[in-house]
């Protein structure tokens, strides 16, 4: 008898506790329904079935069409889905270089006898900027010229004698070969003399000259650096995802860091043929016009490019939920909730860009997600039907 009494008391306690849990705990009915407990039993425990007397009348007072109560529908707050574009803008920092920069070195060794330019001078291609001592080369050139003239006279004389058969054809041919050799020797001597002049291989502006007259220089001694600053080349690095979107000739805008507020326009000049494996970036070179010569090689530039970009739907960060299968959101279709899986593309403080089967304007649940189930009834806060149901519920209570 004692055992039966304890068993009866335990059953009563379980029933009372279960009824209280279903009655007052949000989502308890859905949990019982998910494990197979029938809805009539859930409604009986939660007190939602019609009963006798005034209590039953009050509970039935809030029912809508089809015998379904407004308390069965979860109250939610929604926000329409929007859209945003990503990967449509690139900002990078690059270093500027002159479109042509040449370090001038002598073509031969010797002592400097004359420097014809100074730092900051604008020079033209082929202009002589310095000279080496050339006395020895001048003498060699004169000797070669005399030898050539003598060989030329000999050939002329042998040709005249050849008509009288005084010399043989072989002797005439030997004289002609000697004359050709003398001409080559003269050209070599004149070239050696010309190389004593140090000329600029391109036009531009002369940098700081660090040598002086009388210095002994070799073919590796830098005489001056000549920069052609009519255009500036800016090298910068772009992420791998932009590699297929950049092409030669594409417009760019830039700002010199040292000249804030001055916007420059240019175009893509060259693109590297491979990515850097360490940084996963691609080297790109832009070309900027410099008509007023305000830009210098070595300056840093902020480069910006615009693209068409990729458009994705956006949702409120509060709407994103997680499960063992991944991330998802709840969408309201009519008066039903629908679970939609998503893939997060980019997370921002005020919105999340996602890849999902949603359209701009879809109602996405941001609050009240705890009681939702796929295909379950919902009431949207702020809509006319929800306000009326809330008013009826308040009057019934």
**pLDDT (tens digit per residue) in 343-394:** 999 888 889 999 999 999 999 999 998 889 899 999 998 875 554 454 444 4
43 and 191 part of one domain: no
Among 204, 209, 207, 194, residue whose Cα is nearest residue 107? 194
- Is position 383 within any domain? no
213 and 280 part of one domain: yes
User: Which has more pLDDT, 25 or 202?
Assistant: 202
For residue 184, give the CATH number of its domain. Answer: 1.10.287.470
DSSP 8-state symbol, 50: -
pLDDT at 34: 53
Structure tokens at 244: 């297929």
Question: CB within 8 A of 204, min separation 6: which ones?
Answer: 98, 100, 101, 102, 122, 123, 226, 227, 228, 229
Least-confidence region, from 131-135, 247-251, 383-387: 383-387
Question: Residue 27: pLDDT band by 50, 70, 90 thresholds?
Answer: low
Question: Residue 35: pLDDT band by 50, 70, 90 thresholds?
Answer: low
Q: Which residue is associated with the tokens 């082929």? A: 126
| Mean per-residue pLDDT, 209-233 | 93
| Mean per-residue pLDDT, 62-87 | 72
Full domain range(s) for residue 371: 75-86+311-376
- Structural Rg of the chain based on CA atoms: 46
Alpha helices in 164-245 (DSSP H): 169-194
- Residue finishing a domain among 195, 217, 239: 195
Per-residue pLDDT of 101-128, as tens digits, reads 999 999 999 999 999 999 999 999 999 9
228 and 105 part of one domain: yes
| Mean per-residue pLDDT, 145-168 | 85
Other CB atoms within 10 A of residue 384 CB:
8
Contact between 235 and 117 (Cβ < 8 Å): no
pLDDT at 22: 62
239 and 116 part of one domain: yes
Per-residue pLDDT of 181-203, as tens digits, reads 999 999 999 999 999 999 999 99
pLDDT at 60: 42
pLDDT at 24: 61
């Amino acid at each position: 008898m004692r055992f039966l009494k304890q068993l009866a008391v335990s059953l009563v306690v379980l029933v009372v506790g279960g009824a209280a849990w279903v009655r007052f705990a949000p989502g308890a009915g859905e949990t019982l329904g998910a494990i197979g407990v029938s809805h009539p039993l859930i409604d009986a425990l939660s007190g939602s079935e019609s009963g006798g007397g005034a209590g039953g009348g009050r509970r039935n007072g809030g029912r809508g069409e089809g015998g379904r109560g407004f308390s069965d529908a979860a109250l939610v707050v929604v926000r329409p889905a929007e859209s945003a574009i990503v990967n449509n803008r690139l900002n990078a920092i690059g270093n500027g270089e002159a479109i042509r920069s040449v370090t001038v070195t002598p073509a031969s060794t010797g002592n400097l006898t004359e420097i014809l330019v100074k730092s900051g001078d604008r020079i033209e291609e082929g202009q002589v900027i310095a000279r080496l001592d050339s006395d020895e080369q001048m003498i060699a050139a004169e000797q070669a010229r005399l030898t050539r003239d003598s060989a030329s006279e000999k050939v002329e004389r042998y040709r005249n004698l050849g008509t009288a058969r005084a010399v043989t054809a072989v002797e005439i041919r030997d004289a002609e070969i000697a004359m050709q050799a003398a001409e080559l020797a003269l050209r070599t001597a004149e070239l050696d003399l010309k190389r004593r002049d140090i000329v600029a291989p391109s036009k531009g502006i002369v940098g700081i000259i660090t040598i002086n007259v009388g210095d002994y220089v070799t073919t590796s001694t830098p005489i001056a650096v000549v920069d052609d600053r009519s255009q500036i080349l800016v090298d910068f690095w772009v992420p791998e995802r932009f590699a297929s979107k950049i092409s030669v000739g594409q417009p760019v805008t830039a700002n010199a860091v040292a000249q804030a507020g001055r916007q420059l326009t240019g175009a893509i000049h060259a693109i590297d043929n491979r990515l850097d494996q360490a940084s996963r970036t691609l080297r790109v070179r832009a070309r900027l016009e410099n008509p007023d010569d305000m830009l210098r090689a070595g300056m840093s530039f902020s480069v910006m490019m615009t693209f068409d970009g990729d458009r994705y739907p956006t949702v409120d960060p509060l709407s994103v939920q997680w499960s063992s299968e991944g991330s998802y959101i709840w969408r309201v279709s009519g008066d039903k909730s629908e679970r939609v899986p998503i893939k997060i593309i980019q997370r921002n403080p005020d919105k999340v860009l996602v890849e999902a089967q949603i359209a701009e304007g879809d109602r996405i649940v941001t609050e009240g997600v705890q009681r939702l189930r796929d295909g379950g009834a919902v009431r949207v806060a702020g809509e006319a039907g929800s306000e009326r149901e809330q008013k009826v519920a308040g009057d019934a209570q």
